[in-house]
């Protein structure tokens, strides 16, 4: 255990813990990439009265989040208050087995890690020459999953690791139904109900899952928008490897590595922000 975890979280740790604030409710929402974060951020901005402005700025709402919301005085002031324990806190999480496949598909489609993965698999990667899920897991094994790209970083945030000043949020698992859980929060805090059937909460990065027999762990080519269920990417070896890599997530959030807990209904709507390859 590092000494800093016995001290209050630093400003840097707060900024890297992915926190958004529902201002009318004094509610802090912690989130992770590849865990329905686009839906969560839109939901937060809507309750803050900022969603129309965010979408007018750019259809990819995370550009507004990065360039405006998280740099605003209203956000930074609340971040200071968060460190003083002045908010109710919830954390949105996703089954690490399901999330690892979503991270792979995002890396596969956007190429954001092609150079790094290419070094691991020892061949050049481009739009035509891709890589398998098994090769992606090998790449993860050579990465620092506490500080790497957030699309495949562990979900446990720095502020959760502190011993004396750590945050212990209420956990919301998207597999159990994200829309239902957010609706319950709205009811509890007296917030206006959200219509999650509104197309505004549908992500362009949503992946359609199609049935397929047999393992796809070693395939290197998939359709752009339709791929097999996450369970077909796994065999016993790969489940064990992901269990080791994301042991902190499995342990803290109460997931099992025995089988993929697939999202159903509204919980499956978005896997993450879908950062473009030319992310600023």
Instruction: Please report the pLDDT score of residue 2 as a whole number.
Output: 78
Tell me the pLDDT of the chain (280 aa) as tens digits.
678 888 889 999 999 999 999 999 999 999 999 999 999 999 999 999 999 999 999 999 999 999 999 999 999 999 999 988 889 999 999 999 999 999 999 999 999 999 999 999 999 999 999 999 999 999 999 999 999 999 999 999 999 999 888 899 999 999 999 999 999 999 999 999 999 999 898 765 556 667 677 889 999 998 777 788 999 999 999 999 999 999 999 999 999 998 787 654 433 333 333 333 333 3
Instruction: Please report the pLDDT score of residue 274 as a whole number.
Output: 37
Entry pTM: 0.89
- How many residues comprise the chain? 280
Other C-beta atoms lying within 10 Å of the C-beta of residue 84: 9
Burial class (CB in 10 A: 0-12, 13-18, 19+), 9: buried
Instruction: Please report the pLDDT score of residue 134 as a whole number.
Output: 98
Domain boundaries, the chain: 3-268
- Please give the Cα distance from 110 to 273 (Å, whole number): 12
Give the HSE-up count for residue 232: Cα atoms under 13 Å, Cβ half-sphere.
13
**Do β-strands 208-209 and 226-227 pair in parallel, antiparallel, or remain unpaired?**
parallel
């Amino acid at each position: 255990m590092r000494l800093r975890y016995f001290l209050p979280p630093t400003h840097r740790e707060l900024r890297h813990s992915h926190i958004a604030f529902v201002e009318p409710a004094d509610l802090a929402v912690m989130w992770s990439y590849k865990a329905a974060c686009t839906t969560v951020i839109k939901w937060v901005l809507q309750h803050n009265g900022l969603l129309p402005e965010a979408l007018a700025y750019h259809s990819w709402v995370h550009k507004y989040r990065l360039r405006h919301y998280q740099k605003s005085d209203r956000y930074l002031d609340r971040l200071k208050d968060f460190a003083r324990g002045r908010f109710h806190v919830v954390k949105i999480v996703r089954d690490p087995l399901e999330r690892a496949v979503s991270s792979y598909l995002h890396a596969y489609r956007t190429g954001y890690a092609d150079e790094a993965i290419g070094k691991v698999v020892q061949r050049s990667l481009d739009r035509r020459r891709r890589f398998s899920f098994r090769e992606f897991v090998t790449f993860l094994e050579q990465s620092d999953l506490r500080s790497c790209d957030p699309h495949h970083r562990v979900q446990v945030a720095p502020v959760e690791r502190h011993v004396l000043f750590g945050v212990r949020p209420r956990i919301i698992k998207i597999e159990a139904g994200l829309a239902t859980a957010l609706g319950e929060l709205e009811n509890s805090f007296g917030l206006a109900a959200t219509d999650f059937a509104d197309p505004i909460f549908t992500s362009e990065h949503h992946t359609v899952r199609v049935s397929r027999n047999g393992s796809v762990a070693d395939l290197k080519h998939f359709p752009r928008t339709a791929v097999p269920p996450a369970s077909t990417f796994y065999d016993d070896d790969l489940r064990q490897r992901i269990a080791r890599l994301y042991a902190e997530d499995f342990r803290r959030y109460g997931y099992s590595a025995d089988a993929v807990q697939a999202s159903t209904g509204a919980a499956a709507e978005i896997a993450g922000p879908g950062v473009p390859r030319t992310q600023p």
